[in-house]
Structure 1
Amino acid sequence: MRLRNAALAATSVTVAGVAALAAGRYAADAALRPARPGKAAAGGQLPAGFGGPPLTVHEVGDGRVSLTRSLTAQLPGVYGLVGRDCHAVVGSVMDGEPSKAPADTVVRRLERVGRGELKPGTKVWFTPQLYTDDSDAGPDDASGIDGALSRTAVQVPGELGPLPAWFMPGERDTWIITLHGLGATPAQALPLLPFYAGLKLPVLGLAYRGDEGAPPPPDGVRHLGGTEWRDAEAAIAYAVRSGATRVVLHGWSAGASMAMRAADELSGHRSGPAADAGHGGGAADDGGVDPDAVGRVAGLVLDSPVLDWWATVRALAASRHTPRALLPLAQRAAQGRARVESERLRQIVDPAALEVPALVLHGPDDTVASWQRSKELADTRGELVRLQTVPNAPHAAMWNADPEAYEERLRQFLTPLM
Structure 2
Amino acid sequence: MTVRRYRSGRIARTPVVIAGAAAGTVGAAIGLSAHFARRVLTPARLPEARTIVRAVDSDADGRGRIWLRGPDAALPGKYSFIFDDGSSHARLGAALEQVVRGRDRLVAREVLAVDRGSLRPGARGRVTGWWYTDPAELGFETRRVGLRLEGGPSWAWIVSPPADRALDGRWAIHVHGRGALPEETLRGVAPFARAGITSLILAYRNDPGAPRGLRGRYGLGLAESRDVDAALAWVREQGATSVTLAGWSMGGTACLIAAARGPQHGLVDGLVLDSPAVDWSGLLDRQARLSRVPTGVARLAGALMQLGIVRGAVPGRRSTDIASLSPERFAAELRVPVLIHASPGDTFVPWEGARRLAELKPESVRLRQGAGEHVKLWNVDPGSWERATETFVRGLTEGERTP
- Tell me the TM-score normalized by structure 2: 0.81
* Matched ranges for 1:183-262 at <5 A: 183-262=179-258
Greater shift, 159-168 or 213-222, is seen at 213-222
Aligned to 2:390: 411
1:310 is aligned to 2:295: no
Aligned to 1:345: 325
For the residue of structure 1 that corresponds to 2:215, the secondary structure is coil
For the residue of structure 2 that corresponds to 1:75, the secondary structure is coil
For the residue of structure 1 that corresponds to 2:126, the secondary structure is strand
Amino acid at match of 2:284: V
Cα 1:226/1:64, change in 2 over 3 Å: same
Report the CA distance between 1:162 and its aligned residue: 1.9
Report the CA distance between 1:89 and its aligned residue: 2.0
Report the CA distance between 1:131 and its aligned residue: 4.2
Partners of 1:372 and 1:347 in 2: how far apart? 9
Partners of 1:349 and 1:402 in 2: how far apart? 31
Cα 1:349/1:367, change in 2 over 3 Å: farther
* Matched ranges for 1:4-403 at <5 A: 9-36=18-45, 39=46, 41-43=47-49, 53-61=50-58, 62-68=63-69, 72-85=72-85, 86-94=88-96, 97=97, 104-132=105-133, 137=134, 142=136, 145-146=137-138, 148-170=139-161, 171-172=166-167, 173-266=169-262, 289=263, 293-335=264-306, 336=308, 337-338=311-312, 339-346=319-326, 349-391=329-371, 393-403=372-382
Amino acid at match of 2:37: A
Partners of 1:319 and 1:301 in 2: how far apart? 27
Report the CA distance between 1:294 and its aligned residue: 4.8
Report the CA distance between 1:325 and its aligned residue: 4.9
Partners of 2:389 and 2:378 in 1: how far apart? 10
CA contact (8 A) 1:28 1:331 kept: yes
Cα 1:19/1:116, change in 2 over 3 Å: farther
- Deviation per CA, 1:24-59: give whole Å up to 9, x if none: 2333244311344xx4x345xxxxxxxxx5344333
Partners of 1:106 and 1:221 in 2: how far apart? 36
**Higher RCO (C-alpha 8 Å, min separation 6):** 1
Cα 1:93/1:237, change in 2 over 3 Å: same
Amino acid at match of 1:238: W
Identity %: 33
RMSD: 2.9
CA contact (8 A) 2:358 2:365 kept: yes
Partners of 1:18 and 1:118 in 2: how far apart? 48
Greater shift, 103-112 or 375-384, is seen at 103-112
Amino acid at match of 2:72: T
CA contact (8 A) 1:156 1:163 kept: yes
CA contact (8 A) 1:129 1:184 kept: no
Greater shift, 333-342 or 367-376, is seen at 333-342
- Deviation per CA, 1:200-221: give whole Å up to 9, x if none: 3211011112222222223332
Structure 1: gaps spanning 5 or more residues: 44-52, 267-288
Report the CA distance between 1:232 and its aligned residue: 0.8
CA contact (8 A) 2:346 2:374 kept: yes
Report the CA distance between 1:380 and its aligned residue: 2.7
Bigger radius of gyration among the two: 2
CA contact (8 A) 1:260 1:349 kept: no
CA contact (8 A) 1:149 1:193 kept: no
Cα 1:388/1:210, change in 2 over 3 Å: same
Partners of 1:347 and 1:104 in 2: how far apart? 39
- Deviation per CA, 1:284-335: give whole Å up to 9, x if none: xxxxx3xxx3511000001111121122123223333434553333333443
For the residue of structure 2 that corresponds to 1:399, the secondary structure is helix
Amino acid at match of 2:391: Q
For the residue of structure 2 that corresponds to 1:82, the secondary structure is strand
Aligned to 1:277: none
Cα 1:114/1:396, change in 2 over 3 Å: same
- Tell me the TM-score normalized by structure 1: 0.78
- Deviation per CA, 1:339-397: give whole Å up to 9, x if none: 13344334874323221010011010112322122122223322211111012x11222
CA contact (8 A) 2:41 2:219 kept: yes
- Deviation per CA, 1:126-148: give whole Å up to 9, x if none: 2222245xxxx3x6xx5xx14x4
For the residue of structure 1 that corresponds to 2:140, the secondary structure is coil
Structure 2: gaps spanning 5 or more residues: 5-11, 313-318, 398-403
For the residue of structure 2 that corresponds to 1:219, the secondary structure is helix
Report the CA distance between 1:257 and its aligned residue: 1.2
Cα 1:296/1:320, change in 2 over 3 Å: same
Report the CA distance between 1:20 and its aligned residue: 3.2
Report how many residues are paired: 367
Partners of 1:15 and 1:248 in 2: how far apart? 51
Cα 1:294/1:252, change in 2 over 3 Å: closer
For the residue of structure 1 that corresponds to 2:54, the secondary structure is strand
Aligned to 1:276: none
